[in-house]
Structure 1
């Protein structure tokens, strides 16, 4: 991972990055931002003249490189930061990494009055954009390995940089889990990765439920979905329980380590990226580990129900009736609607055994989400206006978009089954809404304190864009950590 340090200003710059800000209400398209670093008058004059000469607008993420082979610094990067808010600095950090991909080090000179959010945004953007996942070392990482941020008082920004580093590290952990091919990644492997990282954090509890334990406790949904695979299912229960915490949040994430669709088998086009179908589970365990690393004074428990949905003689069938944890039953209408079955078990267990104050689930659940909201926005469902507002706003601050969708009461009748309590996936339209209504049936007394994110589309990026690298995005980690911090 990119090494980022706070400095007061080194004596020599090889590559110097100077911020350029948009100027509203004036004829000037952009302006060089005065920085805390001590720069020569000639250098400042040269950089100031370059802004209009290069037709810079100051838009966040805009870059221009000016080479000075006989001078110091040798390379000058003018970097647009927009209005100078955290979002602008995050875009700037990502653009900086891409513009200097062939350089080894650089120094960014921040304004003397820069808020802590500037350091957090710049660092998060740079760290996340420098992420790469490959199973070979060839061409796997950018050349940029070190970034100095020059500020007047480094100690003033230390906490912001630490938070940015932890947030990026946990987001990248979620990306690693999601990107890993399913030839390696199975429920047991996933649990082992979580255990390895959790071992380094004090006051973190981990229980990995084995198949026989799941059977004894009645986790029928997890067992049904995992029944067709030679790799048995698991339930990861990960807890950060700081002394004195007064709020308990349970995070549930869908963890299908590969999804063939089961007997309702997917076509190749729908199956080839199904290693991403555990992105919700990756996000909730990473957010919980992040809360522990940041020592947030809020109790957090992550539940990751893990299974491979495979085709075999022991796979569950459409028409099967599944008894979930707690006793409610589902008639399977489509074995490719498996994620809600494992989530139903985990939600019911959370309500029965963990007594949380708030219950939040994340799931790559439906393609209908992307049809409604596109590739970068998750659908949010809840009956609680306050929770909806808080989660949407904090996720947006962190750079993750979501949009509240309706829980339409008229559609509850679609769930009615002649054989069981519910159909798992009635084929009557409004797929994302009906899936949320189904999950709500397993939230019991926490129905009014439950939030569901349908985040299949934003869990994956088809190209490198801003702070996103091609592949898994780690969607949910940044927003959840930002929200958990507000509860603390």
Structure 2
């Protein structure tokens, strides 16, 4: 990612970026000898002030050598984020951005986040490129110190989630993921990690997690990451689905559907990233992240359609489709969180269903909750962060679809709306926290097929930014 530095305004010999808003170009930052050329360039451009629009003016043998005119639209944080992302994609770094003296702190945060997020590159399988630097020319750097620190921590947490999700499953299995969680939390203040290995999972009754991971050469794990700052009055538990690869099990997926199944642990990656990010920001809220990790594979030890599994909380599920494994491991984790952790609020993130994408497309997650206040706060945090979610219903008359003749529940009934029924199934494991629980089905927005805005092609780290915004006010 780009490295962000700050400096007082001064003459620039290389590349200078100046903002263009609804009122035109920032004339205070514009060198006087460029006024005429800039006016001519903007007059010939289509909506030059549109957020994310960038005009380039080369100036051979002059200072600055290149001028970038970056549109910031109406000046919202989202518009500044779009401007930062567009500047990062110019390939002109290193460069200096002249920030208007009256820019609000949220604008500078948006600019910095856009610059860093859009310049992310996954490099685990390639030679890492050198990080380029961008300088923000600020008249009063101290005024923006908190905004820039928040942007940097948010971008780093998102990059962690993207890295984990992008990593090929030839390297990524439950044991590997557990080790990455230890490494990520090692330098985070007030943070500790516990890992359950198969023997402990069996002893404590995580029957569904063991069944889902039973077909793999690498057994499942359960990871708990605790961030416990002094004086915290609210305890939030975050649960993330962590299927490191999903073949569909014996209900095997078509080949094309398996190609991106390395992303099926995107919920766990986002939850881990948000927890480590909250610790870096020293947010005054206690957070426990619970990551059920498994690889859903095909072998003689794989669980089968018709099996009945016993969950951590004692409930049983009749299996009809082994490709509905994510809700099973989440059910164990949610039951554990309710019984053992007793949080004030419970939120889970999961790349759970393809139905999410059919209903809402690639850029919206589905949000479920019976708590209007919690749902509103999470949706608002997502909107501010640039991660959109749409609240979906939890119809009472659909609950009957979960009824089984052999067990307490059907995890994947053949009738009913896929994403909705999956959420209703998960709600059955929230116990006394039913009215303080929210679920994000974020399979579609967890992956981007192309670079767009602050997103790069591949894993998006969806959910990290939403959770950090929300946790800051929890």
TM-score range, shorter chain: over 0.9
Q: TM-score, length-normalised on structure 1? A: 0.95
Q: Distance in 1 between matches of 2:339 and 2:439?
A: 18
**Among residues 443, 446, 454, which one is paired with 1:456 in the alignment?**
443
State whether residues 208 and 310 of structure 2, in contact with CA within 8 Å, keep that contact through their aligned partners in structure 1: yes
Shift in Å at residue 53 of structure 1? 3.2
Shift in Å at residue 223 of structure 1? 0.4
Runs ≥4 residues deviating over 4 A: none
**CA displacement 1:175-198 (0-9 Å, x = unmatched):** 000000000000010111111121
- What does residue range 136-215 of structure 1 map to in structure 2 within 5 Å? 136-137=125-126, 141=129, 145-215=132-202
- What does residue range 46-195 of structure 1 map to in structure 2 within 5 Å? 46-99=37-90, 101=91, 103-137=92-126, 141=129, 145-195=132-182
Range with bigger deviation, 55-64 or 150-159: 55-64
Q: Distance in 2 between matches of 1:189 and 1:333?
A: 30
**Among residues 451, 457, 463, which one is paired with 1:476 in the alignment?**
463
**CA displacement 1:135-186 (0-9 Å, x = unmatched):** 4435x64x77010111110010011111001100110100000000000000
Q: Which runs of 5+ in 1 are unaligned?
A: 24-30
Q: Report the counterpart of residue 33 of structure 1 in structure 2.
A: 26
Q: Distance in 1 between matches of 2:39 and 2:376?
A: 42
Q: Report the counterpart of residue 377 of structure 2 in structure 1.
A: 390
Give the aligned length. 474
1:376 aligns with 2:363: yes
Q: Report the counterpart of residue 348 of structure 1 in structure 2.
A: 335
Q: Distance in 2 between matches of 1:391 and 1:298?
A: 16
Shift in Å at residue 90 of structure 1? 0.4
Q: Report the counterpart of residue 264 of structure 1 in structure 2.
A: 251
Q: Report the counterpart of residue 4 of structure 1 in structure 2.
A: 4
Q: Report the counterpart of residue 27 of structure 1 in structure 2.
A: none
Q: TM-score, length-normalised on structure 2? A: 0.98
**Among residues 304, 321, 324, which one is paired with 2:291 in the alignment?**
304
- Quote the RMSD (CA, aligned, Å): 1.3
State whether residues 22 and 57 of structure 1, in contact with CA within 8 Å, keep that contact through their aligned partners in structure 2: no
Q: Report the counterpart of residue 43 of structure 1 in structure 2.
A: 34
Q: Distance in 2 between matches of 1:43 and 1:158?
A: 31
Q: Distance in 2 between matches of 1:424 and 1:137?
A: 40
Shift in Å at residue 50 of structure 1? 2.7
Q: Secondary structure at the match of 1:486?
A: coil
State whether residues 34 and 112 of structure 1, in contact with CA within 8 Å, keep that contact through their aligned partners in structure 2: no
Q: Distance in 1 between matches of 2:405 and 2:52?
A: 56
Q: Distance in 1 between matches of 2:94 and 2:133?
A: 5
Q: Distance in 2 between matches of 1:288 and 1:144?
A: 25
1:437 aligns with 2:430: no
Q: Secondary structure at the match of 1:422?
A: coil
Q: Distance in 2 between matches of 1:198 and 1:144?
A: 24
Shift in Å at residue 211 of structure 1? 0.7
Q: Secondary structure at the match of 2:172?
A: coil
1:295 aligns with 2:266: no
Q: Secondary structure at the match of 1:178?
A: helix
State whether residues 287 and 477 of structure 1, in contact with CA within 8 Å, keep that contact through their aligned partners in structure 2: yes
Shift in Å at residue 46 of structure 1? 3.6
Change (3 A) 1:144 1:314: closer
